[in-house]
Amino acid sequence: MSSSKKLSQDEVDALISSLDQNGSASGVGTVSEKDVRDFAFGEDDLSLLGDYYALRVINERFARLARVVFQPMLRVQPRISAQMPTVKTFDEYCEGAASLMSLSTSRIDELRGTKMMVIQPEFISALTNAYYGGDLGLKYMPRNEFTATETRVIEIITEGLNKILLMAWQDLMPLTFSEHAREENLQFASFVEGTETIIVCSFVVQLPKSEPSSIDILYPLQTLKPIAAQLRSRMQSEVIDDDLTWRERLEHAVMQVPLPLNVQLGKPKFSLRSMLAMEIGDVFPIKLTEGLSVIVKGQKMFVADIGEVGGTSAITITRKLDKSSAEK
């Protein structure tokens, strides 16, 4: 029969006092309360994703290429730094979040999952001010919703950042985004359940004369599990080493340069006496011949015939002039 005797309060106090004085009992060291935290088994299992090496490479590439998205608005390339990916629940991410943020959700077709891009309202306000000639250092005033102009700016940069993100992923695997949705409050965003685990990829954007802002890209853990082995691999860059984005933007800018086009109908000759005697209403006949010269920026480029389309005068290009013919 076991003893039912219990320790008295004095004996309990003496036992605790001896532990505090000796610092250990039965050879087991004491642990400070600040070093102890709650842990639920299976909640923080990162073994499926290894050391995030491939994801870190993708984030660094995205940070390098994303600068060109903001350059047309800021007229400078901001400094963008990729932070280490972190794992937390969606509820933990929502804690302390602002009531107004740009939330863009897209479906990743190949992974049968979703991703969310979160942009802070201060950054949106700074971009809008800079885009329309304002000062980047203007203090942000909290609001309950974005203006129509800010909404358009959000659409422009979200579309650009999604294209850059696809380029950053294509070395690991080609992705496509569809079913785009936008929201302004995390409480109303259809992303994942609050208890689900997400991967948070944060990027710090440093703008001149203003505080650093952040852009977050959220991936549900379940979305990345099917490619866990690839995320553990030491990914080599074979596609993005050459900055194709800069080349494409340069080509697009060159192709948008406006050029004046003139058609030379004829070269009539008349004397100085006739020109001095010219009055309003005088008529000078011009003989139109086939093979009119089309002049682009002062240089003959094509040969064309004159005609009419839908009641409007028009020309038909019949031949392109080579360099020697254009100089004659």
Q: For residue range 307-327, list pLDDT tens digits in order.
A: 888 778 888 888 888 766 656
Long-range own/partner contacts, residues 211-217 (CB < 8 A, 24 or more apart): 211/122, 213/120, 213/122, 213/123, 213/126, 214/120, 214/123, 215/117, 215/118, 215/119, 215/120, 215/123, 215/161, 216/116, 216/117, 216/118, 217/62, 217/115, 217/116, 217/117, 217/118, 217/165
Residues 145-157 have pLDDT tens digits of 888 988 999 999 9
Give dist(CA 107, CA 113) in Å, integer. 6
Higher pLDDT, 92 or 49: 92
**Of residues 290, 89, 62, 275, the one with CA closest to residue 199:** 89
pTM: 0.59
- In this predicted structure, what is the pLDDT of residue 283? 81
pLDDT tens, residue by residue, 7-31: 777 877 877 777 666 554 444 555 5
Average pLDDT of span 62-87: 86
- Residue of 212 and 270 predicted with greater confidence: 212
Identify the top-confidence range among 75-84, 116-125, 202-211, 275-284.
116-125
10 Å CB burial of residue 60 (0-12, 13-18, 19+) is middle
What mean pLDDT do residues 74-80 have?
82
The CATH class of the 47-254 domain is alpha beta
Q: How confident is the model at residue 34 (pLDDT cuts 50, 70, 90)?
A: low
What's the mean pLDDT in 92-99?
83
Closest CA to 85 of 237, 189, 216: 216
Determine contact, residues 120/98, Cβ cutoff 8 Å. yes
What are the distances in angstroms from CA 323 to CA 126, 243, 299, 302? 49, 33, 10, 11
Model confidence at 189, in pLDDT bands (50, 70, 90)? confident
In this predicted structure, the answer to whether residue 41 has a pLDDT above a threshold of 60 is no
Give me the pLDDT at residue 27, please. Answer: 47
The domain spans of the chain are: 47-254, 258-276+285-327
- For residue 307, what are the β-bridge partners? 314
Neighbours of 50 (CB within 10 A): 15
Helix H segments across 170-316? 221-224, 228-232, 244-255, 272-276
CA distances in angstroms from 280 to 5, 181, 265, 273, 283, listed in the order given? 129, 64, 21, 16, 9
- Position 1 confidence tier, pLDDT thresholds 50, 70, 90: very low
Q: Identify the pLDDT of residue 234.
A: 65
Residue linked to tokens 């709650």? 38
Tokens of 35: 């070093």
Is 258-276+285-327 in the same CATH topology as 47-254?
Answer: no
Reply yes or no on whether the pLDDT at 217 is more than 90: yes
Would you say residue 203 has pLDDT above 90? Answer: yes
Query: How high is the pLDDT of residue 240?
Result: 47
Q: Is the pLDDT of residue 226 over 80?
A: yes
> What are the structure tokens assigned to 189, written together?
């965003």
> What CATH class has 258-276+285-327?
mainly beta
Q: Would you say residue 98 has pLDDT above 60?
A: yes
* Predicted local confidence at residue 26, as pLDDT: 47
For the cut 60, the answer to whether the pLDDT of residue 239 exceeds it is no
